[in-house]
Amino acid sequence: MKAKLWLGMLAVAGLCAASGAAHAENNNCDAGGATPYGLKPQAGDVVEPRHLSLTRAFAGTGKLSVNFCNADVRLVNRPDAQRMELTVQMDGSDGSHNIADYVKSFSVQPNGGQVEMKFSKAAHARVTLTLPMKRGEDFEFSLGRGDLDFVAGNSAGERQINVGMGSVKMLVGDAPYGSMQVNIGMGSLHDHRPGESDGHFVVSKEYQAKGDGSLQINVGMGSMEIRQD
């Protein structure tokens, strides 16, 4: 019986690790350095060697896929916004590469798009992504390695958050989901809300609330904290 339980736990850990890392196309965070992908700035963009600021019209509906590697990310829901704002600060260096060299894809329209940035560990990238998360949006965010600070607020829509290796800190407001699934392959869950409990090692937990849409958070290896506003 114990052997079967152990094998089952290992299977769940493997699935969570795969979900946290493999969903991102840039999941191999150790592969090489920067490549000059050739970001095409628009009017109002700020593109400096160590600082990047991009703003695009975005209604908070449609399919949006965001992938990062080797970054500390702050993800903020702003439900009344009509645009997506992305800022990146590079505190380290990787030879002669500028920050735009890490942008593999940045294509955002009002009803969706794709963002992919693959930083090196030496870049020490800090990212802030602010956008509306509304009913009708299909949002998938993947972070191969790094820490994520997620300000969920009263967000909505179908949202999937994948972190291969790192930590997730989620600040919730008034029921930012109808249902939430948390999967941690190897690590810990600390839910600081009244009446909730923690989990350790392999964690798979479901929550129900009165919000709108679903929220799935997968952490391959690391930790997650949930706090109330």
Mean pLDDT by 10 residues, the chain (229 residues): 38 44 49 65 92 95 95 95 96 83 91 93 95 94 97 93 97 88 96 90 92 95 93
Q: Is 5 exposed, middle or buried (0-12, 13-18, 19+ CB in 10 A)?
A: exposed
Count of beta carbons in the 10 Å neighbourhood of residue 24: 25
Give the per-residue pLDDT at 63: 96
What pLDDT score was predicted for residue 73? Answer: 98
Q: What does the pLDDT read at residue 221?
A: 96
pLDDT for residue 15: 45
Whole-prediction pTM value?
A: 0.86
pLDDT value at position 196?
A: 87
CA distance linking residue 150 with residue 170, whole number of Å: 5
User: What pLDDT score does 38 carry?
Assistant: 62
Cα–Cα nearest to 129, from 21, 48, 54: 54
Strands 125-131 and 62-69: unpaired
Residue 76 φ then ψ, to 5°: -125, 125
Domain that holds residue 82: 2-228
Q: According to the model, what pLDDT value does residue 26 have?
A: 40
Closest CA to 144 of 169, 116, 124: 116
State the pLDDT at residue 162.
97
The tally of domains found in the chain comes to 1
Report the distance separating Cα 78 and Cα 60, nearest Å: 9
